[in-house]
Chains A and B, each alone.
Chain A
């Protein structure tokens, strides 16, 4: 069936580097996407979101890019810090107007000092 997936299960970077986490989705009807950060033993924490009528959105140190042509979503983290180490999930809302999210498989980001 249709699902949200990630290309890289683990990404290791050095402190100060920029990180890029990728996500592929298959449901062309999805109109809202969110990136969450989950630290060990904790619930997901909202990072940034983007709607399908946009292709880029920036937050503090983070940028989300959406390419609807190839159904690809990415999260860019600038100047990665050890505190950014966590699992990152992309999630999509497949039903406009309803709060039902489908999560991707997750990418572990490891930041070395």
Chain B
């Protein structure tokens, strides 16, 4: 499967600041990447689907102006949490779609804590 990395692995920020999380596909050209959010002891919830070179498709209830997604290349997608608030504290995980369209390979996640 594809090897996926995320940076940073952990970030702590003050309320009102913006945070950028990077997702890289290290050995696979990913035309589609996904961003998930996971609260403690909960399941993964899909936030948005990111296609290289086009606008992301957001799931219902996810604010596109708050969670900015950029997928400028086949190996990099970024998620920017704008004007972060404590309720945005969560574990953010990205994944890439595999060669078989219904496969996904996940990154290690980024723990965001907003003070």
Q: In angstroms, how far is the closest chain A Cβ from the Cβ of B46?
A: 7
In the assembled complex, which residues on chain B have CB atoms less than 8 Å from the CB atom of A106? 42-43
Please determine whether B111 and A45 come into contact, CB atoms closer than 8 angstroms: no
Please determine whether A46 and B105 come into contact, CB atoms closer than 8 angstroms: yes
Please determine whether A99 and B111 come into contact, CB atoms closer than 8 angstroms: no
Contact A44 to B101, CB < 8 A, known contacts A89-B44, A103-B43: no
Please determine whether A98 and B101 come into contact, CB atoms closer than 8 angstroms: yes
CA distance A44 to B45 in the complex (A): 13
Q: How large is the interface on A (under 10, 10 to 19, 20 to 34, 35 or more residues)?
A: 20 to 34
In the assembled complex, which residues on chain A have CB atoms less than 8 Å from the CB atom of B42? 105-106
Number of interface residues of B (CB under 8 A): 26
Which of A45, A100, A103, A104 touches B49 (beta carbons < 8 Å)? A100
Give residues of chain A (24-50) contacting chain B, Cβ–Cβ below 8 Å: 32, 34, 36, 41-46, 49
A97 at the interface (CB under 8 A from B): yes
Please determine whether B101 and A42 come into contact, CB atoms closer than 8 angstroms: no
Please determine whether B106 and A99 come into contact, CB atoms closer than 8 angstroms: no
Q: In angstroms, how far is the closest chain B Cβ from the Cβ of A107?
A: 11
Give residues of chain B (75-115) contacting chain A, Cβ–Cβ below 8 Å: 91, 93, 95, 97-98, 101-109, 111
